[in-house]
Structure 1
Amino acid sequence: MNAPVRRLSFLVGLLFASLLVSTTLIQYVFAADLNARPDNRRTLLATYARERGEILVGQTPVARSVPTEDEFKFQREYPDGPLYSHVTGFYSFYGAVGGLEQSEDPLLSGSSDKLFYRRVSDLFTGRRAQGATIETTLDPAVQQAAEQGLGQARGAVVALDPKTGAVLAMVSHPDFNPNRLAGHDLATVDENYRKLTEEPDRPLVNRAIGGDLYPPGSVFKVVVAAAALSDGEYTEDSVLPGPAALDLPLTSATLPNHDDVPCSPTGEVTLKQAMVVSCNPAFGDLGMKIGADALREQAAKFGFGDSPSVPMRVTPSSVPAELDAPQLAQSSIGQYDVRVTPMQMAMVAAGVANRGTVMSPYLVQSVIGSDLSVIESADPTELTQAVSPRVADELTDMLVATVDEGTGTKAQIPGVRVAGKTGTAEHGEGRRAHAWFISYAPADDPQIAVAVIVEDGGVSGSETSGGSVAAPIAKQVMEARLK
């Protein structure tokens, strides 16, 4: 073989070797990265071509895949639009974003290891690959009542079954229409998504479980009272100071009552009376006496500091780690740097309702395969024993009195004993206070526990108290369940 032929043979061999190496790199080394590229149209088409599982409320789909005539084969559809937007999230060119679409994406898409044997069976039988169906715990009547109750106001509502932890309703306002993000026109979807992300009210944020957490205001007094009753030195008849304003140590500042008048003609109140009229000075004094450690420990028993998965992650609620006496007094009325999610305050109400046992909240009742077999189902789990049954009964007595004759009268339901607590939370100079209400009913056999937050007092004009704004919403939500 002469020299030119040898050189040509060497060049051809080198080219074949390069081709082999590059093919190997593409198929095995870079495959995962290439598949994950957002501009990889083949991956996008393959993903859309698989029918995602449904998300059910009762037996009704609130998210489903419908066949299309275009190259994508299926399009995600949300029949109830905004009503369940923060529960479902959405599925589009951006992938699975928010809600169950994101947290349960492996099951809905069919890629979960739990569906491995089903995929193998589909491979041999030639059946079309399909994701699993997610059955939620939501009660459609309760969800609808929460949605209507909030109306045009910003805020959130969470309702739980106290005995199991099942989420009966989860509404966050403002909401959004996931159908506008699930289309196959990339330009339109992109424009709709851009508008939502630029909205100052941040409609994509699920305020029920995350976002910028709220000061709880006076609904946090339930946690303070629980700590006091649990230490054995206090009962609901214990006498506390109830002046128009409490002098705070280490400072010239005072802790005023909400209406700047004494909590009683005598200037003293029992713990029960302090809860009924929501006496700030009494709870500020009580918090300083029981101490920061006891307060933080009690809050932790209700779930503060935890990040439960419902299966969406819930942002931890918190009580500040370091508190001097004035800060402790402020924290004891749910101000200073105490921050909570509506989910956490619903857990507080549910824990007291369930005689002191806080159940882990959950949103998924069962996972159902395409052959209608149940792949997994919920198993209610005890999170913690927050207070003893005796303390829970005492708290219930106080909270029933609050609704019967105190600040929570607008939550009364004829023929039903309702337990509840109002809250009005300041959150900035010159800004209207947030309105809170937590409750459960019936008090002697609770079927539902509710937390309502209405940002900036909603649209009620000058009335921004929890009793006038949030309590009627909670009443509407509880009635929907009890009926």
Structure 2
Amino acid sequence: MNTPIRRLAVACLVLFVALMGNATYVQYVQANDLNSKANNKRVIDDEYSRERGAILVGGEPVAESVPSDDQFTFQRTYPNGPLYAQVTGFFSYTYGRSAIENAENPLLSGSDNRLFVNRVVDLLANKQPKGGSVELTLDAAGQQAAATALAALPAGTKGSVVALDPTTGAVLTMYSQPTYDPNALASHDFAAVNQAWQALNDDPANPLLNRATQEIQPPGSTFKLVTASAALEQLDLNPGSVVQGGSELTFPGIEYTLPNAGGGSCGGDQITLEQALNVSCNVSFGSLATQIGQGALEEQAEKFGFGDKVIENLASNASRFTTPDTELELPQLAQSGIGQFEVAATPLQMAMVAAGIANDGVVMTPYVVDVVRDPSLRVLDDAGDGEEYSTALTPDHAAMMQQMMISTVQSGTASSARIPGLEVGGKTGTAQRGNGLPNLAWFASFATSGDQQVAVAVMIESAQATDDISGGRLAGPIAKTVMEALLAS
């Protein structure tokens, strides 16, 4: 073989090896990344031609695929779509997926590695692969109760409700108002889908936002549960310990004073910790915050979940005690102790605080996916009894917090949550945001009936800028309604 032919042969061999290497890299190494690209039309068309698995609540589908007479063979539908939209999310040809539809897409679409055998069987039988199913932790009665209660508020009111099982962390209720209909985004009429998407994104109320996990707002006096917990843990107090009362808290050398809501004195210059929680005394908890200190109070908040997104499968934002590297001055620390200044929390976070107290100080990690199954209904994954997130309180201190929250419902500001025959603990909150923005009404609570227990947090934003909003008046009755529905179901 002469030199030119040998060189040409080597060049062809190099090109052949490069071609094979590139094909191998694309088909094996890059396969998952290419398949998961949102704009991969081949994958999208393939997914839309499959029987996508159902999302279930109490054994009933809240998202399912039904036969269609168009090119895609199946249509994704959402019975009672707006009721579960923030958790199920949407499945759209044009705009992709969200929430559970996105987080559990490999299983629902049938491409999950755990369904390999199913795919082989379907291939041999010349059938399209089917997706597996996802059972959610939600309780239908609690979800409907939350939706009905929020809908009864004045038009334009925004808010959300979260209910947890304190012993497992299972999310029993998660509803956000306003909501949206995912059927409008799943339609195969793409012109109508575009119009619906534009309308949802142009809506100033932002119905696509899951306020339960994404909206962080000042929690107001519901944060006093965290401050009280820190006082028990760090200052060795108990419900009968005497704390500072009076009409205002002053700071040496600083003109600013921290008053109580309405200018009251909380019952005297010296009151017990339990009374301070019962009447939601700003002076008491502002003073306690300065004694506890920024570091210890922030650490207590983190034990309840502040600083962490805390939940998988759903879009969420971390609650915060303060912004990073902020050194709080005494007035700012006092404001933080009553859930103001830079403190901001999601309703899910405040439900975790109430749940951790109810569960003897043990905070469980919240979750919304209970069981996943393959198309033959074989269980692939089961959440079981959940996972522990942290220990926020000793059992003794948790019992003290439970006692004080129960007395706050029995004879304090949280009386709107009383349920005859049940043990209910709660804490109200009215948070100021300033800049002409409406105040927020909060309520964090728990209820026990026999061996059943639930924790509920409610956050309401008035449609109008007004001071006439309070957690006890607006949020408490909603928490009561949801707790009754959950404990009766």
Aligned CA distance change for structure 1 residues 40 and 482 (closer, same or farther; 3 Å): closer
Per the alignment, residue 236 of structure 1 pairs with 239
1:129 aligns with 2:129: yes
1:34-86 CA-to-partner distances (Å, cap 9, x unmatched) read 86776765443222001111000001100001111110111110010200010
1:258 aligns with 2:261: yes
The residue type paired with residue 208 of structure 1 is A
Aligned CA distance change for structure 1 residues 38 and 480 (closer, same or farther; 3 Å): closer
Matches within 5 A, 1:67-466: 67-94=67-94, 96-151=96-151, 152=155, 153-211=157-215, 213-264=216-267, 266-320=268-322, 321-379=326-384, 380-442=386-448, 447-456=453-462, 463-466=468-471
1:482 aligns with one of 478, 483, 487: 487
Q: Provide the rounded CA distance (Å) in 2 between the counterparts of 1:281 and 1:220.
A: 14
**What TM-score comes out, normalization by structure 1 length?**
0.90
- In the alignment, is the contact (CA less than 8 A) between 1:284 and 1:329 conserved in 2? yes
The residue type paired with residue 62 of structure 1 is V
RMSD: 2.5
Aligned CA distance change for structure 1 residues 35 and 462 (closer, same or farther; 3 Å): closer
The residue type paired with residue 402 of structure 1 is T
In the TM superposition, residue 127 of structure 1 has moved relative to its aligned partner by 3.6
Per the alignment, residue 61 of structure 2 pairs with 61
In the TM superposition, residue 228 of structure 1 has moved relative to its aligned partner by 0.6
Q: Provide the rounded CA distance (Å) in 2 between the counterparts of 1:65 and 1:220.
A: 43
Q: Provide the rounded CA distance (Å) in 2 between the counterparts of 1:38 and 1:234.
A: 55
Per the alignment, residue 6 of structure 1 pairs with none
Task: Point out the more displaced range, 200-209 or 235-244.
Answer: 235-244
The residue type paired with residue 244 of structure 1 is S
Secondary structure in structure 2 of the residue aligned to 1:311 = coil
Task: Give the number of equivalent residue pairs.
Answer: 465
Q: Provide the rounded CA distance (Å) in 1 between the counterparts of 2:425 and 2:35.
A: 54
Q: Provide the rounded CA distance (Å) in 1 between the counterparts of 2:100 and 2:202.
A: 23
The residue type paired with residue 278 of structure 1 is S
- In the alignment, is the contact (CA less than 8 A) between 2:223 and 2:337 conserved in 1? yes
- In the alignment, is the contact (CA less than 8 A) between 1:417 and 1:444 conserved in 2? no
Q: Provide the rounded CA distance (Å) in 1 between the counterparts of 2:427 and 2:38.
A: 49
Aligned CA distance change for structure 1 residues 233 and 39 (closer, same or farther; 3 Å): closer
**Runs of at least 5 residues in structure 1 that lack an aligned partner in the other structure:** 1-16
- In the alignment, is the contact (CA less than 8 A) between 1:78 and 1:179 conserved in 2? yes
- In the alignment, is the contact (CA less than 8 A) between 1:463 and 1:469 conserved in 2? no
Secondary structure in structure 2 of the residue aligned to 1:135 = strand
In the TM superposition, residue 462 of structure 1 has moved relative to its aligned partner by 5.7
Aligned CA distance change for structure 1 residues 382 and 57 (closer, same or farther; 3 Å): same
Q: Provide the rounded CA distance (Å) in 2 between the counterparts of 1:323 and 1:189.
A: 48
Per the alignment, residue 11 of structure 2 pairs with none
In the TM superposition, residue 310 of structure 1 has moved relative to its aligned partner by 3.5
1:402-454 CA-to-partner distances (Å, cap 9, x unmatched) read 11111111101111121000000001233331000010002885511000000
Aligned CA distance change for structure 1 residues 237 and 135 (closer, same or farther; 3 Å): same
**What TM-score comes out, normalization by structure 2 length?**
0.89
Q: Provide the rounded CA distance (Å) in 2 between the counterparts of 1:38 and 1:298.
A: 41
